[in-house]
Amino acid sequence: MRVGLDLRPLTASPYSGHGRQALALYNTVRLRPETEALPFTNAPLTHQHRTWAYCPAKPSSIEGLRSPMARLRFERDFLPEAISTLAVDVHIATGGTGLPTGLSDVRRKRTRWVLQMRDLFQITQAHREGKGLKAAFHRWFEHWRIRHALELADAIWTPSAYTAQTIADHFPATLPRLRLLPDAVPLEAWQKLHQDVFAPQRYWLLVGTREPRKNIAWFLQAWQQARDLWPDLIPPLVLIGHPRDVLSVPQHVRFVHGINDAQLGSWYRQAERVWQPSVAEGFGLPVIESAACGTPVATARGSSLDEITPPGALRFDPQDMVSMTQLMHQAARQGRGEQESPQALQDWASRYDLPAYALRVDELLKELV
């Protein structure tokens, strides 16, 4: 079997959740018996990915990979011919959109098309895309790409039942083609990843700040109230993200950005607890990555977080600030719960480890041939 994979998310942002999942899928397919993995991307002329992936002759800057016109050229002018020439049996778009456009009937039927869709937030949630004609065009274009990919796909792989249900609610015709493929979290790698970081002696950690659905402003307000009430008990806060994504930042909040996976692993491992206050998550990778590092979590109720939160973890209503402040006091005072030992958390995370992931990928690929 010849399996094509669109790895533009990995090229554009290798340390993001989308990038890590694209790499995990590529390596899993590459190691599958009797399977040839054929990676596709675009990159600058000197980029390492050009040494092992199929790329258009005309290079693209990393920033250009996010441009609507660059995406359209890749999907309309490059992918159809490349996939046909290489006689790809199954092609997987790993970025939630990105399946080729302008296919002839012959090319459309020759290959089986898979859309790996981690969420539908481009349609269901507010975004920080700005205002004006350019932003409006960008939103329209992304919505068009999503609809096109959902129509073309023979199978739609989602990381959670929540995401699958959201897609089915908005696009009922997709229901027979929806399949569950939870994200991969390589347990051994997260246990061993280490690079020295200048961390406070005590701190709580949040990962991801950009989108409004992350609920960061609300969480910071609750944390500030708890800190004002119990200044010697509530630890400082570290946010993995950029300060420009948050409008008002209290004192004793530190931002860390531009880090690699080894540094992120160290931040996870040394934290007292990782908090996930999102009102909507397609999967919630930081929850499982924290557990893989043996660090307890506290998660909002709702969305996919109900599916992936370890037993015994602290849960909260992401809109009830009074209860949240009290929960922070409890978390700081009591520390780990009975079911939150490092070993128990890592045992929970093992269900998302690479062997289980590879078995599921194998099942899904067998469905297509």
Tens digit of each residue's pLDDT (9 = 90 or more) over 342-357: 999 999 999 999 999 9
Two tokens, residue 82: 């490349």
Which phi and psi (to 5°) does residue 204 adopt? -100, 155
Position 135 scores a pLDDT of: 78
Tell me if 153 sits within 8 A of 167, measured CB to CB: no
Contacts of 322 (CB under 8 A, 6+ apart): none
Tell me 182's DSSP state: P
pLDDT above 90: residue 122: no
Which residue, 181, 208, 170, is CA-closest to 289? 208
Strands 297-300 and 314-316: parallel
Half-sphere exposure of 351 (CA within 13 A, CB side): 11
Indicate if 188-351 has the same CATH topology as 2-184+353-367. Answer: yes
Contacts of 124 (CB under 8 A, 6+ apart): 166, 170, 280
pLDDT band at 108 (very low <50, low <70, confident <90, very high): very high
Assign a CATH topology to domain 2-184+353-367. Answer: Rossmann fold (3.40.50)
Q: d(Cα 274, Cα 291) in Å, to the nearest integer? A: 9
Tell me if 325 sits within 8 A of 229, measured CB to CB: yes
pLDDT above 90: residue 50: yes
Taking residues 13-33, report their average pLDDT.
96
Tens digit of each residue's pLDDT (9 = 90 or more) over 242-285: 888 888 888 889 999 999 999 999 999 999 999 999 999 999 99
Two tokens, residue 275: 């908090």
Assign domain 188-351 to its CATH architecture. 3-Layer(aba) Sandwich (3.40)
Q: Using a pLDDT cut of 70, give the percent of the chain over it.
A: 98
pLDDT above 80: residue 130: no
Taking residues 202-225, report their average pLDDT.
93
Instruction: Give, in order, the Cα–Cα distances in Å from 197 to each of 126, 133, 145, 236, 287.
Output: 33, 42, 40, 16, 20
* CB < 8 Å & 24+ apart, contacts of 323-332: 324/219, 324/222, 325/222, 325/225, 325/226, 325/229, 327/298, 328/222, 328/223, 328/226, 328/234, 329/226, 329/229, 329/230, 329/233, 329/234, 331/273, 331/298, 332/226, 332/230, 332/233, 332/234, 332/235, 332/272
What is the SS3 assignment for 66?
A: helix
pLDDT band at 126 (very low <50, low <70, confident <90, very high): low
Length of the chain equals 369
Predicted TM-score (pTM) of this structure:
0.94
Q: d(Cα 150, Cα 99) in Å, to the nearest integer? A: 9
Strands 273-276 and 253-256: unpaired
According to DSSP H, which parts of 193-317 are helical? 216-229, 261-270, 285-292, 305-308
Structural domain boundaries in the chain: 2-184+353-367, 188-351
Q: d(Cα 285, Cα 356) in Å, to the nearest integer? A: 16
Which residue, 152, 154, 174, 148, is CA-closest to 163? 174
Two tokens, residue 361: 């990928």
Q: d(Cα 158, Cα 135) in Å, to the nearest integer? A: 27
pLDDT above 70: residue 136: yes
Note the maximum CA span of the chain: 68
pLDDT above 80: residue 69: yes
Tens digit of each residue's pLDDT (9 = 90 or more) over 177-211: 999 999 999 999 998 888 999 999 999 999 987 78
